[in-house]
């Protein structure tokens, strides 16, 4: 059998920096894919209910024939960006080229002003933005979204309680806002794909016994102060984790191939058996992973990630 390799340099790959992005765990997922997928290099149906930056989706697209995919996320701007790449790739590339070349020509002081100007426009737009009807505004807003993501501090997309994007400027020497070839390849990858803004439970309808499902919900916070689960206005609480577990059990009964990842609460408290209890009937593994979204350098370092599966 031909050996699979992680082709990190190839496209399509994530076009956003996303908290909890799974690029570094791909090697581990690769080892754990269902055998028939590895053998025939084919995924009949793929569902990803917590899409984010889409590291796993793009990995599968780079390495396998993926017949059809159904992608979900609750974040309306994120989903709009995917839909714009799917349907208005050329217009988006024009906008991105324009915003990037303007930005790179500026000195540091003006770049900072430019960042805050775009952030203000972006937050004003948010108040009565029409997410239901695609149009020129979608393309423009998506270019702002990608720009802010690539120039903000730590590359974080974080909203405050009012739903505003409030991350400060990130001071990069030569920020690369986008990669043209990647956007073109993502556009191709999205041709056999349906994309939905909504709660993960809405993906149920698309899941059957042929489906590979990768579930990567927002992390259970590692410490009381870390609040990186706030990708959307409403975080993901333990009661959401319980609803997700029920969803997992139901999809397991349907016969789907399920892979779920999460932070390991034992990193913080060795006695915390939240996920061990919840998923006791399934395969639970602990994989070392580096989380570098934490600002406090001392808190960065080796921690475990959980990978839970319902198949061998
Ligand atoms: C850990 S991130 C996924 C990261 C992704 N695997 C990657 O590689 O970038 C979790 C995602 O779940 C989304 N999310 C939060 N609550 C959700 C919900 N109830 N239904 C669907 N998506 C949700 C967030 O917007 C976020 O993009």
176-219, pLDDT tens digit by residue? 999 999 999 999 999 999 999 999 999 999 999 999 999 999 98
Peptide bond into 249 cis (omega under 30): no
Of the residues 14, 19, 50, which should be mutated to test ligand 1's pocket, given the most ligand atoms within 8 Å of the CB?
A: 50
Expressed in angstroms and rounded, the spacing between residue 291 Cα and the centre of ligand 1 is 16
> pLDDT, tens digit, for every residue of 85-97?
999 999 999 999 9
Alpha-carbon distance 71 to 52, whole Å?
Answer: 10
Instruction: Give me the pLDDT at residue 141, please.
Output: 97
Q: Tell me the average pLDDT of the chain.
A: 90
- Residue 230's pLDDT band (cuts 50, 70, 90): very low
Hey, what are 26's tokens?
A: 């791909």
User: What is the spatial distance between Cα 229 and Cα 20, in angstroms, rounded to a whole number?
Assistant: 9
Question: What is the spatial distance between Cα 288 and Cα 147, in angstroms, rounded to a whole number?
Answer: 32
Query: What are the tokens at 201?
Result: 């439970």
Q: Is 206 in the pocket of ligand 1 (CB under 6 A)?
A: no
Token pair 């059990």 is found at 249
For residue 122, pLDDT beyond 70: yes
| Cα 104 to ligand 1 centre (Å) | 31
Full set of structural domains in the chain with CATH: 23-74+198-309 (3.40.50.150), 79-180 (1.10.1020.10)
Quote the pLDDT of residue 232.
46
What is the 196 CA–ligand 1 centroid distance (Å)? 12
Q: List the 65-73 sheet strands across, edge first.
A: 193-197, 65-73, 42-48, 211-215, 257-263, 301-309, 283-291
Q: What percent of the chain has pLDDT over 90?
A: 75
Identify the pLDDT of residue 289: 80
Asked if residue 48 has pLDDT above 90, the reply is: yes
User: Does ligand 1 come within 6 angstroms of the Cβ of 72?
Assistant: yes
- The pLDDT of residue 10 is 87
Question: 210: which residues sit within 8 A by CB, 6+ positions away?
Answer: 44, 45, 256
Residue 296 has pLDDT above 60, yes or no: no
Residue from 52, 55, 243, 248 whose mutation best tests the ligand 1 pocket (most atoms within 8 A of CB): 52
Is 298's pLDDT higher than 60? no
Give residue 228's pLDDT band: very low, low, confident or very high (50, 70, 90).
very low
pLDDT at 1: 40
Span 45-56, average pLDDT: 98
**Residue 307 binned pLDDT confidence (cut-offs 50, 70, 90):** very high
| Residue 49 Cα to ligand 1 middle (Å) | 8
Q: What is the pTM of this model?
A: 0.92
- Is the separation of the CB atoms in 92 and 183 below 8 Å? yes
Dihedral sign for Cα atoms in the order 44, 48, 54, 59: negative
Binned at pLDDT 50, 70 and 90, residue 2 comes out as very low
- Tens digit of each residue's pLDDT (9 = 90 or more) over 96-106: 999 999 999 99
Q: Are strands 193-197 and 301-309 parallel, antiparallel or unpaired?
A: unpaired
Most ligand 1 atoms within 8 A of CB, residue of 58, 215, 231 to mutate: 231
pLDDT above 60: residue 57: yes
Ligand 1 pocket residue status of 276, Cβ below 6 Å: no
Higher pLDDT, 257 or 266: 257
pLDDT category of residue 292 using cuts at 50, 70 and 90 = low
pLDDT of residue 56: 98
Mapped onto helix, strand or coil, the DSSP state of residue 260 is strand
């Amino acid at each position: 059998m031909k050996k699979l390799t992680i082709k990190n340099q190839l496209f399509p790959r994530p076009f956003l920096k996303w908290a909890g992005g799974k690029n570094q765990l791909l090697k581990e997922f690769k080892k754990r894919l269902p055998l028939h997928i590895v053998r025939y290099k084919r995924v009949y149906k793929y569902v990803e209910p917590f899409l984010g930056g889409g590291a796993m989706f793009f990995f599968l697209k780079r390495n396998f024939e993926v017949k059809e995919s159904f992608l979900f996320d609750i974040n309306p701007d994120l989903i709009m960006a995917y839909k714009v790449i799917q349907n208005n790739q050329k217009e988006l590339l024009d906008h991105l080229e324009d915003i990037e070349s303007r930005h790179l020509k500026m000195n540091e002081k003006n770049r900072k002003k430019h960042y805050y100007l775009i952030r203000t426009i972006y937050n004003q737009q948010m108040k009565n933005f029409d997410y239901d009807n695609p149009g020129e505004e979608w393309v423009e807003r998506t270019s702002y979204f990608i720009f802010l993501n690539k120039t903000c501090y730590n590359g974080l997309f974080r909203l405050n309680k009012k739903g505003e994007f409030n991350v400060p400027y990130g001071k990069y020497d030569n920020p690369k806002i986008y990669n043209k070839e990647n956007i073109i390849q993502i556009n191709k990858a999205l041709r056999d794909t349906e994309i939905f803004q909504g709660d993960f439970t809405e993906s149920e309808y698309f899941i059957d016994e042929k489906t590979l499902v990768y579930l990567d919900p927002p992390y259970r916070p590692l410490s009381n102060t870390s609040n990186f689960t706030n990708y959307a206005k409403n975080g993901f609480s333990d009661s959401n984790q319980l609803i997700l577990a029920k969803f997992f059990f139901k999809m397991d009964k349907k016969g789907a191939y399920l892979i779920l990842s999460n932070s390991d609460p034992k990193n913080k408290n060795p006695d915390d058996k939240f996920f061990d209890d919840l998923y006791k009937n399934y395969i639970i593994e602990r994989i070392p992973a580096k989380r570098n979204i934490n600002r406090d350098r001392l808190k960065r370092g080796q921690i475990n990630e959980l990978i839970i599966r319902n198949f061998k």
